[in-house]
Structure 1
Amino acid sequence: MTARENDGPPTRVLVVDDDEGIRVLLASVLAAPGCTVTTAATGVDALRIVRGEEFDAILLDRLLPDVDAVQIVTALRAAAPSAAIVMLSAVDDVDARVAGLRLGADDFLTKPFHVSEVLARIDAVRRRGMPIDDPDVLRYADLEFDLAGQRVRRGGEVVPLTPTELRLLRFLLENAERVLSRGQLLDHVWRYDFGGNSEVVEKAVSTLRRKVDAGRPPLIQTVRGFGYCLRADPS
């Protein structure tokens, strides 16, 4: 199938849920605008599928019968680093949303949900803050962010990042050498109100730092008491 234009939901979606009714519903809804949909009832099946195919987005039930949520998100992220993961959960509160995002999901959707919101969330999480028609490349030191290709290189080597990590790094690059508070990062990267909870930011920055700064002079600096900054000079 020819890939869709970037004004709608992604082409390749994996739906992972042990509820057959939800799998059938989502497959039907996502297929209507032209997506290619694959479904899995267990975490084991999802991992097997992801290791053999590429996906733009993964809709993932938070409570699967055969695997722990932490294990499955970590494994899926490793197998499909560029796929947007939208976690589905029957629990609707701030702690649940924070927990889902801390696990590594890019967005969180509560059951029962409106099917139109599913399409909007998938689309938004992939495009949020990343215009595809901008041909420019953001650069700082030996770090390059190709906005059109949504690809990051450090010292000429590709650094695989998740959609959330891409948004976070882009915001840091656009504000290089400026200290950004945790609240600013929450507002601009996640665009959710977590009641001031900064754990999501801290975990995301820590993971991003391990990927971008691995074996190289550190660029992502922690400014104690204030927030974070992209700066070659740690002082």
Structure 2
Amino acid sequence: MKVLLIEDDDETAEFIERGLREQGDMIDRAATGRDGMFLAGDGDYDVLIVDRLLPGMDGLNVVRLLREAEVTTPVLFLSALSGLDDRISGLDAGGDDYLVKPFAFAELRARLRALVRRPPMAATSNLLQVADLTLDRLARRVERAGQRIELQPREFRLLEYLMEHQGEVVTRTMLLEHVWEYHFEPKTSVVETHMSRLRTKIDKPFEAELIKTVRGSGYVLTAPD
């Protein structure tokens, strides 16, 4: 990946830069919003990491201006601001994901990979397919091996998210944020309950298992070997 980091805190920037370079990624850094905006407009980056609170021009305005200039590079906001309104304002400004400080580097990179692999909006297909499982976004129809599968709305969105990230491990936090739009950690087993119901419908009647649990990490939907 080629990454642009717009972050004014030297300690945070060094942590991210070191981690990404160790993974073989290329990374440039800007310490102010204005410098970051110019680099993002001129450079060919796969993804942007943007701090919310920047000197001179804050991260929200940086991303708004980039979107107005039709720069469509995926944006991951970083911020110590963890409130629901803060997250919503980041996404409304044109961000694609939002990660609260402090964070684990493994989750940061997982989110970056998910953003880089996500197809541009204009190229997003209405039909998702993994092996013999298909999901039609417009018709709200799911089939496996030609057999219709009836899903509840939340189950449909859960499956859609897994299929959008096929082959990638998605964490419980990612599912809570993107399927339930929870920006906090609820003390319930809502993810596990819905995942169990989904697997009963998607996998149990069929020979091959598509949805797998990655112990200690999350879930992955992938075609059988």
Structure 1 residue 170 displacement after superposition: 3.1
Within 5 Å, give how 1:3-152 maps onto structure 2. 11-78=1-68, 81-128=71-118, 150=119
2:50 touches 2:59 (CA, 8 Å); kept in 1?
A: no
Partner Cα distance (1:80, 1:27) in 2: 27
| Counterpart residue number, 2:138 | 176
Q: Deviations over 1:145-176 (max 9, x none)?
A: xxxxx4xxxxxxxxxxxx4x358x53489433
TM-score computed with the length of structure 2 as normaliser: 0.56
Partner Cα distance (1:99, 1:184) in 2: 27
Structure 1 residue 70 displacement after superposition: 3.5
Aligned residue identity for 1:27: E
Aligned residue identity for 2:180: D
Q: Does the residue aligned with 2:14 lie in a helix, a strand or coil?
A: helix
TM-score computed with the length of structure 1 as normaliser: 0.54
Partner Cα distance (1:114, 1:103) in 2: 24
Aligned residue identity for 1:191: H
Structure 1 residue 69 displacement after superposition: 3.8
Q: Deviations over 1:47-75 (max 9, x none)?
A: 22123211000000011121144321122
2:78 touches 2:99 (CA, 8 Å); kept in 1?
A: yes
Q: Does the residue aligned with 1:67 lie in a helix, a strand or coil?
A: coil
The alignment-based identity, stated in percent, is 31
Partner Cα distance (2:153, 2:7) in 1: 33
Q: 1:48 to 1:59 in 2, by over 3 A?
A: same
Partner Cα distance (1:80, 1:32) in 2: 32
Aligned residue identity for 2:137: N
Give the unaligned 5+ runs of structure 1. 1-10, 129-149, 151-162, 197-235
Partner Cα distance (1:74, 1:182) in 2: 32
Larger Rg: 2
Out of 179, 182, 193, the position equivalent to 2:180 is 193
Number of residues paired by the alignment? Answer: 150
1:55 touches 1:80 (CA, 8 Å); kept in 2?
A: no
Give the unaligned 5+ runs of structure 2. 129-135, 142-151, 162-176, 184-225
